[in-house]
Amino acid sequence: MFAELRKKLESVDHSGDISPRQPATALLLSICPGLGQQYAGNLARGISAYILLILVSWLAATLFMFIGGLFSLIFLAVPFIGVAVIGIDAYRCAARQPKDFRKRWFNRTWLYPVVFLLLLVTVNPLMDFLVGSNIIRAYFVTTESMAPAVLKHDLLLINKLASPQKGDLVLVDFRKDTKSKKLTKIIKDQLIRRIIAGPGDSVEIRGRQVFVNGEPLNEPYATYGRGSSHDPFNTETYHLEQKKVPSGSFFILADARNFGLDSRILGTIHKNQVDGVVSKIFWSWNLDAGSFKWERTALSLNQI
């Protein structure tokens, strides 16, 4: 069966129209990595290049997440360098083909846009979903509830592999209320919050002072500005009676105590609602100036 199929493909290869390969066209098609190699007659090479680029790019993103300092910025260039290398390789593959090159079954003109669209709507989203669900994802901040550690318009990297600990900033998915859906009646989104206490800890709040297991918590990150219009309490007089955090749950607070919803209103959250630990600021946008906040680019949160 396979022998017959191979003969048919070979017959198509040798009976195709003569069409010299243009290196510039191969380079242009490499906007979709691997498509230039397909055009140049190297289908397997193109597929391998595409798969390798995806794997290396996600590996670089993961290393960027774990490695601190400006040195980590080099990992951000990996995908762009990879695309450039694949484009140059496609150019060279096309340049090496003879002038009497005959089109093969995968050189039909209509196949190029089909392959591009197929990758665009299937493989790319699938890889983003698999990696974003299990390893690393990005989150764009739209509020000031965690300032100054996290600012509005920061793009954060969320580490899905890390185990949440007290003091960590985490992405909380309020849509994953497995108990009563009470949270989704108040908020239907994902928010960044700080874990103040874990399972078995007791929490009490007297005004601005938070006590965990009876000990006052040192919170240099906490700020107390003017309350928002939906602020149901005043941090000067607010009091939360001592309560114990249930097994498998966390007590979370916003750093900007007069802004945002947290466990003071919503109660404790289940560990299944923690969608990852915030590890790093990818980049930050200054909306007023219309420019990047370069000083926050690649900044690890433990540097703030």
Instruction: Give tens-digit pLDDT for 204-249.
Output: 999 889 999 999 999 999 988 765 444 555 666 678 899 999 999 9
Each residue of 267-281: pLDDT tens digit? 899 999 999 999 888
**Could you tell me the residue range of the domain that residue 119 belongs to?**
2-134
pLDDT of residue 273: 92
| The pLDDT value given to residue 274 | 94
d(CA 153, CA 144): 9
Shared-domain flag, residues 158 and 286: yes
In a shared domain, residues 180 and 103: no
- Identify whether the C-beta of residue 145 lies closer than 8 Å to the C-beta of residue 260: yes
How high is the mean pLDDT of the chain? 83
Strands 169-173 and 269-270 turn out to be unpaired
**Higher model confidence: residue 302 or residue 200?**
200
pTM listed for this prediction: 0.70
Sign of CA dihedral 198, 199, 201, 206: positive
Residues 124, 211, single domain; the answer is: no
Taking the C-alpha atoms of residue 266 and residue 176, their distance in angstroms, rounded to an integer, is 13
Q: Are residues 147 and 296 in the same domain?
A: yes
Tally of domains within the chain: 2
CATH number at residue 158: 2.10.109.10
Residues 62 and 166 in one domain: no
Task: Kindly state the average pLDDT of the residues 188-197.
Answer: 88
- Looking at the fold, whether 107 and 149 belong to one and the same domain comes out as no
Same domain for 167 and 61: no
- Do 84 and 112 lie in one domain? The reply is yes
pLDDT at 57: 87
| 217 plus 244 within the same structural domain | yes
194 and 122 fall within a common domain: no
Of 167 and 120, the structure prediction assigns the larger pLDDT to 167
Residues 103 and 188 in one domain: no
Ranges 93-107, 130-144, 181-195: which has the least confidence: 181-195
Cα gap 289→43, rounded to integer Å? 47
